[in-house]
Amino acid sequence: MRKIIVTEFITLDGVVEAPGGNETNHPHGGWQTKYRSPEGGKYKMDELTAVDALLLGRITYDGFAAYWPTQTGNGFGDRMNQLPKYIVSRSLQKADWSNSNILRDVAKDVVALKKTDGGDILVYGSATLARALLHHDLVDELRLMVCPVAVGGGLKLFDDNRELKHFSLKHSRVFDNGALILEYQLTR
**N- to C-terminal Cα distance for the chain?**
16
CB neighbour burial string for 88-99, b if at least 16 within 10 angstroms, e if fewer? bbeebeebebee
In contact, 113 and 55? CB cutoff 8 Å = yes
State pLDDT tens for residues 106-139: 989 999 999 999 999 999 999 999 999 999 999 9
State pLDDT tens for residues 58-108: 999 999 999 999 999 999 999 999 999 999 999 999 999 999 999 999 989
Alpha-helical regions (H) of 14-84 = 38-49, 58-67, 75-82
